[in-house]
Structure formats: C-alpha cells, structure tokens
Amino acid sequence: MFDRVIVVDWSAANLPTSPTNRANAVWIGCHDAEGGAEWHHRTRASAEAQLVLLIENARASAQRVLIGFDFAMGYPTGFAARLSGEASAPAVWRWLAEAITDVENRNNRFEVATRINAAFPEGPGPFWSHPTGQSWPGLPFRRTGIDYAAFGLSETRAAEAAVPRAKSPWMLFNPGSVGSQSLLGLPMIHRLSQRPGVAVWPFAAPDAPVVVAEVYPSLLAGPVAILANGEGLTADQAQVRLLSKALYRLARADRLGPLLDAPPEAAEEGWILGAGHAPLLAEALAWG
C-alpha cells in the first residue's frame, strides 16, 4: 500500500538553535524496505524543507508515501465555520497559514489565539493556557470559566474520546498540550496539501501518491519507553522510529485498512490514524 512511512514529532519550541538531540525539537522518522532512519531539526522551517524534498523524491520515483504528524489536524465540530465561514478543516488551515508567522522558531501563536478568542463574545476561550509570567488578555491561563457549550463547541474532538490520554487542541501550553503544535503545524499542512499528488486523510481519500495523516505516537508508549531507556534515546526519537516501523509493516502486510476507518465526525474534525488499534501497532513491532 505504501513504499515508505514517515512520522514527524512536531514541536512548538521557540528556541531557534536547539542543541542536537534536544527532546523538545522536531524529529522525523522514516521506515522503508531499506530499514529506518531518524533526523533531528532545530527549526520547523528546516523540517518542512526536508519533508518537501522527501515528497519530491517519492513523486519522482513513483513511490507511495504515508506521512504522519503528531498534532490535531482539525478542531471540534462548529469551529471551522465560526472562524472561516466554511465548515471544513482545510479552511482553518488556510486561515492559519495567513495569520501565523514563524521565522527561526519565533512565532505569534499566542497573539493569534488571542485574536481568535476575541471572535467569541460569549465568554473567554476557546483557547487557553500560556507560559507562566506572560500576560495575554483574552487568553485564559486556566481552563476554568470557559463555557464551550455557550460557543456551540465541544472541549474535545471525537478523536480525543477514542484516545483518552490525548489532550484537547484548545490547550496551548503545559505538559502534554498539543494546541500550540497544531497552530504552528496546520499552516504547513495547508502548504503540503497544495502540492500535486498530496492528500490529507480523512479529509480526502487515502489513495493519493502521498497521504498525510494525524498520528499519536503515545499509542506505543510501552515499547517507546523500553527503547528510549535501553538505547539512551529521547522519547521523541524513539517514538518516530517505532511508529514509522509499525505503520510500514502494517502497510506492507496490507493491514492498514482498519486504521483508516473513521467516524462521521472525522470529516470536519479529523481523526487519529491508529485510534483504537494500539494492540495491532504493538503486534506489528513484534513481527520478524
């Protein structure tokens, strides 16, 4: 089904020159018939440049590639229409691509979140959390007091309900948060989606030469911990190595089909590739 699988552990880090092997940086893991490899990137821009090159090389050699990113590619139902006037995730990507600036990892994500929150006069939110010591009027530090029902929104997507440890995309800071990664990653998803032969699942059918999807590396938390501790790797590097390997093995065995089943809500909210299938991913790692 796919000749190569790439998994990207994205980062919202502000540091423009993160040291080699820094935990909170971008890691790209790849697995194909020749084995596996991982690359560390100090900036999001350099990571995106490598991904574009990998896509171009795959297209030139007529290879099919699956690329997974570890951030939410959509928001709870109703948000897209409130933000962009169009009930579709690609409309949100396009809006963010115009609003977000990100140069050498210096970005305006909290300013953009504050601007979005201001469009919800019903009360504070929906985005919340920021670094201690910073002040962003209109961007609450804590979740307390945000009434998602008043916005006609949910606090989480159906995907988070299917993967209980996954955090809400509204949460922008603190351990486990994914909101900032999404704000800084979705503009890239917009740019990649404009390239010939690229489809973003589940918003488009997974039959293009290059398929982009949302992943959740913590579905392999146990094996990741064992590998990281055993080889002295950061958790991020271990995650991209193992998840790309598991997905590649499932693809070559023609067993990715169940992972590509998504509920109706996914058409707007997106879905996590592998949600509900952690045992199958772990099983694939054990194959000889």
pLDDT digits (tens, 9 = 90+) for 6-29: 999 999 988 655 455 555 689 999
Per residue in 198-209, pLDDT (tens digit) is: 999 999 999 999
Q: Based on the fold, state whether residues 83 and 172 are members of the same structural domain.
A: yes
Of the candidates 133, 166, 181, which is a domain's last residue?
181
Per residue in 65-109, pLDDT (tens digit) is: 999 999 999 999 999 999 999 999 999 999 999 999 999 999 999
**What is the model's pLDDT at position 25?**
84
How deeply is 7 buried, as exposed, middle or buried, from its count of CB atoms within 10 A (0-12, 13-18, 19+)? buried
Q: Based on the fold, state whether residues 8 and 142 are members of the same structural domain.
A: no
Q: Over pLDDT 90: what percentage of the chain?
A: 91
Q: Based on the fold, state whether residues 163 and 212 are members of the same structural domain.
A: no
Phi and psi based region of residue 250 (left: phi greater than 0; alpha: psi -120 to 50; beta: remaining): alpha
| Nearest Cα to Cα of residue 109 among 118, 117, 100 | 100
**What is the model's pLDDT at position 122?**
87
Q: Based on the fold, state whether residues 43 and 124 are members of the same structural domain.
A: no
Give every strand in the sheet of 65-69, ordered side by side: 35-41, 26-32, 4-9, 65-69, 210-214, 198-200
* pTM, entire model: 0.96
Q: Based on the fold, state whether residues 65 and 27 are members of the same structural domain.
A: yes
Of the candidates 181, 206, 226, which is a domain's last residue?
181
Of the candidates 181, 201, 232, which is a domain's last residue?
181
- In total, how many domains does the chain have? 2
Q: Based on the fold, state whether residues 103 and 177 are members of the same structural domain.
A: yes
The parent domain of residue 87 ranges over 79-181
Q: Based on the fold, state whether residues 172 and 211 are members of the same structural domain.
A: no
Q: Based on the fold, state whether residues 126 and 256 are members of the same structural domain.
A: no
Choice between 155 and 1, residue whose per-residue pLDDT is larger: 155
**What is the model's pLDDT at position 1?**
86
